[in-house]
């Protein structure tokens, strides 16, 4: 079943007291550089540092009391893990998070801070799925997929809803695409509210499964993709692909260098921290593949979780 | 002559259309960590990336037309240089910036972007002063000292004015101290508007001239200070010292480690970029040298200009 815009409106009512209505920022030097008017929806300021809190809250607060009592489970080393642990903590239920033993310390700490119960496993998809299965057998917890889930898509579609409430007459809306939860939710919302607005998915060239899948008309997963945009390594699922195929106008690819340049420009000009995955849509705007002159362009800054350990270690100069 | 609060109000009228009234942010996890209510005045979002734009604009827009025509000059490798170049550009006059040949590329680029005319010299104070003298002889430009100048102090005092307009009943106001322009302006404003609010200067232990000067009752300059807080290397001047001596309640010292920890906490929790000097007041709050339990605390985040070259070079992983 495909989510409707009405489902996304209901999701927003369900979650709005548990998430931030994040600010929409503008930046005059960005507008000068690109010759258009850009409106940045800052999900880097979202609870748990990413839009993932929207979908996670929508799933957790959609569970019946009986389901909720048994908890939720996921396997993830990314933003979804922290967001799900937080949502479960708010509802007062258990979150079982299966993480690869190689997960960055900062991600492990985030899950622990929100009271998530971590089970470590070998860093293979097989080990992760098997470990999650074991948790489910033992606890009866509900598995929450990070993107290929109708309830998750509905939650992620609320970011565009808030953006479009704040900013009128957008001509384009750019969002990153990994597994497609954010992009498909964004497309449903945008088509319903501003039918003529172009919805653009933005993807690293090094993880271009959404681009290739859309061209081919069927899902072609990425094999061992390597990109700095670590939130976009996943491939489309059978729930997200059809929505993207139907409602998204175009997918634009950007190089690793373009991603880093966009991210650095944001840090230096806007003085805000976005993660590499969040820089992908701005990189697409900078890449001039579409003529945006004079247009009103929305961009979803999807998250702001960056591992700063090395950077801060390098700053230690004096005792 | 010491500036009055009235002078600061006049300065605000003079400059407000050329600067940002920067936002005041709060952060629930910061409040939890410190057990007080903190209000961050975000001068890292100020034009040219630091509060220095306030003083620079006040000087440039206080010049007579005759003075202005001859331009302004300073020797600086820091935020003052960029801010002065920008202010001069807005008024349409020349800014001559004397910079040491060792100045970071990012600072040189900022001055150039604002149309500043750079003269490089050897990286000694003597060479800088001599080169500035030569520029003055040749052009008749007005020398604009980065802090030991009444007009600069008035401009810097407008940050606290905006903060106190936005946030009522502050019990404490924390600001960093280098040469003392920001701290002295902050103290004048705060004493006038909320006489019972404690004004606290915050300084790196490795550049503790303000602390020692205040203790001794006369200026004791730092000798070759070494701190990550590169905006606070300068020592108090004869215009700033008496104000700080009279109106500032206390100066708190923090270690390099405390500065880095505070800066990292801001980047990770608030997802905004502040420079090391701007982290010094939060480091002072974290250090628990004052009992702030339940208090309303203002902090001036003085700037957000950080050299990110190395960090972004380290992120290049894939082609």
Going from N- to C-terminal start, the domains of chain B cover 5-50+149-301, 53-143
Cβ atoms of A275 and A305 within 8 Å: the answer is: yes
The torsion region of residue B140 among left (phi > 0), alpha (psi -120 to 50) and beta comes to left
In angstroms, rounded to a whole number, what is the distance separating the alpha carbons of residues A187 and A161?
A: 10
The ipTM estimated for the assembled molecules is: 0.95
Cβ atoms of B286 and B163 within 8 Å: the answer is: no
What's the average model confidence in pLDDT over B195-214?
98
Q: Which band of pLDDT confidence, cut at 50, 70 and 90, is reported for residue A255? A: very high
What's the average model confidence in pLDDT over A117-123?
94
Q: Is B174 helix (H, G, I), strand (E, B) or coil?
A: strand
pLDDT for the residue numbered A187: 98
For A302, the token pair is 């999807």
pLDDT for the residue numbered B298: 98
| Closest C-alpha among B310, B105, B272 to residue A310 | B310
When comparing pLDDT for B212 and B110, which is higher?
Answer: B212
Chain B hits for A319, Cβ within 8 Å: 256
- Say yes or no to pLDDT of A63 above 80: yes
pLDDT tens for residues B83-127? 999 999 999 999 999 998 988 888 899 999 999 999 999 988 899
By C-alpha distance, the chain A residue nearest B264 is A312
Q: Which band of pLDDT confidence, cut at 50, 70 and 90, is reported for residue A90? A: very high
- Say yes or no to pLDDT of B316 above 90: no
Active-site residue flag, B52? yes
Q: Which residues pair with A301 in a beta bridge?
A: A42
**A99 Cα to chain B: minimum distance (Å):** 21
What's the average model confidence in pLDDT over A238-248?
98
When comparing pLDDT for A252 and A76, which is higher?
Answer: A252
What's the average model confidence in pLDDT over B217-239?
95
Specify the CATH class of A5-50+149-301 in words.
Answer: alpha beta
A109 contacts chain B (CB < 8 A)? no
pLDDT for the residue numbered B144: 97
Non-local CB neighbours of B112 within 8 Å, separated by 6+ positions: B118
A303 contacts chain B (CB < 8 A)? no
What's the average model confidence in pLDDT over A81-99?
97
pLDDT tens for residues B124-149? 889 999 999 999 999 999 999 999 99
Q: What is the DSSP letter of B202?
A: E
Average pLDDT, chain A: 96
pLDDT for the residue numbered A308: 92
Specify the CATH class of B53-143 in words.
Answer: alpha beta
The torsion region of residue B156 among left (phi > 0), alpha (psi -120 to 50) and beta comes to alpha
Active-site residue flag, A53? no
The alpha-carbon radius of gyration of chain B (Å, integer) is 19
> Which one of B256, B264, B308 has the shortest CB-CB distance to A268?
B308
Q: Which band of pLDDT confidence, cut at 50, 70 and 90, is reported for residue A105? A: confident
Q: Which band of pLDDT confidence, cut at 50, 70 and 90, is reported for residue A230? A: very high
| Closest C-alpha among A259, A130, A188, A166 to residue A10 | A188
| Closest C-alpha among B188, B168, B187, B165 to residue B176 | B187
Non-local CB neighbours of B282 within 8 Å, separated by 6+ positions: B30, B38, B174, B262, B265, B266, B299
In angstroms, rounded to a whole number, what is the distance separating the alpha carbons of residues A165 and A159?
A: 10
Average pLDDT, chain B: 96
In angstroms, rounded to a whole number, what is the distance separating the alpha carbons of residues A315 and A317?
A: 6
Q: Is A117 helix (H, G, I), strand (E, B) or coil?
A: strand
- Say yes or no to pLDDT of B31 above 90: yes
Model confidence, pTM: 0.96
- Say yes or no to pLDDT of A278 above 80: yes
pLDDT for the residue numbered B95: 98
Catalytic: which of A53, A62, A76, A77?
Answer: A77
pLDDT for the residue numbered B91: 98
Q: Is B91 helix (H, G, I), strand (E, B) or coil?
A: helix
Chain B hits for A205, Cβ within 8 Å: none
**B135 Cα to chain A: minimum distance (Å):** 31
Whole-number Cα distances in Å, A78 to A37, A118, A234, A272, B74? 31, 13, 11, 20, 48
B5-50+149-301 and B53-143 agree in CATH topology: yes
> Which one of A45, A273, A312 has the shortest CB-CB distance to B273?
A273
By C-alpha distance, the chain B residue nearest A107 is B268
Phi and psi at residue B100, to the nearest 5°: -65, 145
pLDDT for the residue numbered A289: 98
Chain B hits for A312, Cβ within 8 Å: 260, 263-264
Query: Could you tell me the strand order of the sheet in which A142-143 lies?
Result: A117-121, A95-100, A72-75, A142-143
In angstroms, rounded to a whole number, what is the distance separating the alpha carbons of residues B143 and B146?
A: 10
- Say yes or no to pLDDT of B165 above 80: yes
- Say yes or no to pLDDT of A56 above 80: yes
Q: Is B21 helix (H, G, I), strand (E, B) or coil?
A: coil
């Amino acid at each position: 079943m495909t989510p409707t815009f009405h489902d996304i409106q209901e999701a927003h009512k369900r979650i709005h007291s548990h998430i931030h209505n994040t600010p929409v920022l503008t930046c005059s030097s960005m507008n000068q550089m690109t010759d258009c008017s850009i409106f940045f929806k800052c999900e880097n300021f979202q609870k748990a540092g990413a839009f993932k809190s929207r979908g996670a809250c929508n799933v957790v607060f959609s569970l019946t009391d009986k389901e909720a009592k048994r908890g939720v489970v996921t396997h993830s080393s990314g933003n979804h893990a922290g967001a799900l642990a937080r949502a479960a903590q708010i509802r007062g239920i258990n979150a079982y998070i299966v993480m690869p033993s190689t997960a960055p310390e900062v991600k492990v700490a985030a899950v622990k801070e929100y009271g998530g119960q971590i089970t470590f496993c070998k860093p293979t998809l097989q080990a992760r799925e098997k470990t999650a299965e074991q948790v489910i057998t033992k606890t009866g917890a509900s598995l929450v997929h990070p993107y290929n889930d109708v309830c998750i898509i509905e939650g992620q579609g609320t970011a565009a809803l808030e953006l479009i409430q704040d900013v009128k007459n957008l001509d384009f809306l750019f969002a990153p695409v990994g597994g497609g939860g954010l992009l498909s939710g964004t497309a449903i919302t945008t088509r319903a509210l501003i039918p003529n607005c172009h919805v653009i998915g933005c993807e690293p060239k090094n993880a271009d499964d959404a681009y290739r899948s859309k061209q081919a008309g069927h899902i072609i997963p990425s094999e061992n993709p390597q990109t700095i945009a670590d939130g976009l390594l996943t491939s489309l699922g059978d729930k997200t692909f059809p929505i993207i195929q139907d409602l998204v106008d175009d997918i634009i690819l950007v190089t690793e260098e373009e991603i880093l340049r966009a991210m650095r420009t944001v840090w230096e000009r806007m003085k805000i921290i976005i993660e590499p995955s969040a820089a992908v849509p701005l990189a697409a705007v900078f890449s001039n593949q579409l003529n945006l002159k004079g247009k009103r362009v929305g961009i979803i800054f999807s998250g702001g979780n960056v591992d700063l350990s090395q950077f801060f270690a390098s700053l230690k100069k004096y005792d």
